[in-house]
Chain A
């Protein structure tokens, strides 16, 4: 039993990891076809496991409602939102769930008038928090802070139409900052990200990193 619970998952991670690396570096049509098939298999596994999220979400909010915990009323809204959207998803504008998705009806309406506005609003709220954070932190106390401040101001100002009316060079400078100095730094950071990612992937494949198995 210990083998099945602890050793087998490590062996599977090792084998599937090396399989992916090997197939990627074998330039043969069979290898490419196998890789395509395995990648699709991985997408299928991911899609099936995604439904497990519903169980997690529902059990959390069901317990809150059952125990009448503080804010349990809001939990009913999560379930209501989920149920309404799912009902329209299953109904599929009359075609039901075993026919291809129909891009119309209730699901499109909820997407257009609830999902999209909520998503855009949530992301735009961040504009206020970024602005308030900038107000508190953007003090040109040192040369480095001054450079950061100037670069941010140029890019922010260069991205609004009025900048072009003040001087045609301001948008150009803003774009140049994004395309060259910014790109250079991103490239250097990407090298570090790649090395970190590769070492983490190798740690997982060789069974050194086991936190995904529940810390055992």
Chain B
């Protein structure tokens, strides 16, 4: 490592330490004031609010630029989130569907049904365990058996599911009556019909987009733009509602500025 690199790292370590020192000092002072004023109670809930506020501010500091506070909160969050996923997997699948299910079967009187139910637990467990052969390079090829079964079975399941959910279930409501003797023109059904057909034509590249095809594809683009705009607006508002919730947490639950 060159002298310049070493100097840069040393300087960045110093500045990182300074950022941490200032941040934690401010957090401690603010929390001390809040505890002193009686707004926060010392206890699990109070400490939880303080921790939540510190993590929230640390993560929002990324809006300025990437910095050690954000990295600290982000890395801790990754560790916690991974552990949470593993805990949920343990309690909801391994414990329930493997350990408890097998224990219950061993208590039941033995029959061919019980035998096959045991096989239905033992076999996937062994196939799943094969993936750990990746740790030993010599036997790593065995993990391909697990992957091929997961991917193969998943692909097989995906085909009927895609046909059902993304083709049949979408086509059915798109083919409703455009005109009825009782109600006249069904304008919403017409909009959906034109939207589906014109968008499909826009994505159909086997025909040159000229003449009638080109004009329909143009309408398809307009529909696409409306959809993208609407989806964008909807996503923005969903994110902003999360932001409002976080601001409410900071300035109501933590610091009582919003009444």
Contact = CB atoms under 8 A, between A and B. Distances in A.
A38 B117 CA distance: 11
Contacts of A98: 95, 99
Interface in A54-102: 54-55, 57, 70-71, 74-75, 77-86, 89, 97-98, 100-101
Interface string A108-126: 0111111111111111111
Given A18-B156, A21-B156, A201-B156, A192 B203 contact: yes
B138 to A, nearest CB: 11
B128 A47 contact: yes
A85 B94 CA distance: 18
B87 A177 contact: no
A182 interface: yes
A70 B87 contact: no
Given A10-B148, A181-B195, A182-B231, A113 B236 contact: no
Interface in B144-159: 144-159
B150 A45 contact: yes
Contacts, number: 388
A89 B86 CA distance: 9
Given A9-B148, A71-B71, A24 B83 contact: no
A162 interface: no
Contacts of B199: 184-185, 188-189
Given A112-B48, A197-B158, A151 B226 contact: yes
A152 B159 contact: no
Contacts of A147: 222, 225-226, 229
A155 interface: yes
Contact of B233 (A101, A155, A183, A186): A155
B132 A17 contact: no
B237 interface: yes
A24 B147 CA distance: 21
Contacts of B251: none
B56 to A, nearest CB: 5
A114 B249 CA distance: 13
Contact of A201 (B155, B170, B174): B155
Interface in A157-216: 158-160, 174, 177-194, 197-198, 200-202, 204-205, 212-214
B222 A144 contact: yes
Interface string B97-113: 11100000000000000
A49 B48 CA distance: 33
Interface in A3-25: 4-5, 8-10, 12-21, 24-25
B232 A152 contact: yes
Contact of A124 (B73, B125, B243): B243
A184 B222 CA distance: 12
Interface string B167-187: 100110010000000000000
Given A42-B124, A212-B151, A50 B233 contact: no
A154 to B, nearest CB: 7
A48 B76 contact: no
A89 B81 CA distance: 12
A213 B153 contact: no
A147 to B, nearest CB: 4
B132 to A, nearest CB: 6
Contacts of B92: 101
A187 B82 CA distance: 35
A131 B134 contact: no
Contact of A17 (B152, B225, B240): B152
B124 A127 contact: no
Contacts of B158: 197-198, 201
B121 interface: yes
8 contacts: A8-B144, A51-B89, A81-B78, A89-B84, A98-B99, A125-B59, A156-B237, A212-B148
Given A47-B97, A86-B87, A118-B77, 7 more contacts: A46-B93, A78-B76, A97-B95, A118-B55, A180-B192, A190-B166, A198-B159
- The 8 lowest CB-CB distance pairs between A and B, nearest first, are A184-B195, A81-B79, A20-B156, A151-B229, A48-B128, A155-B233, A13-B152, A113-B48
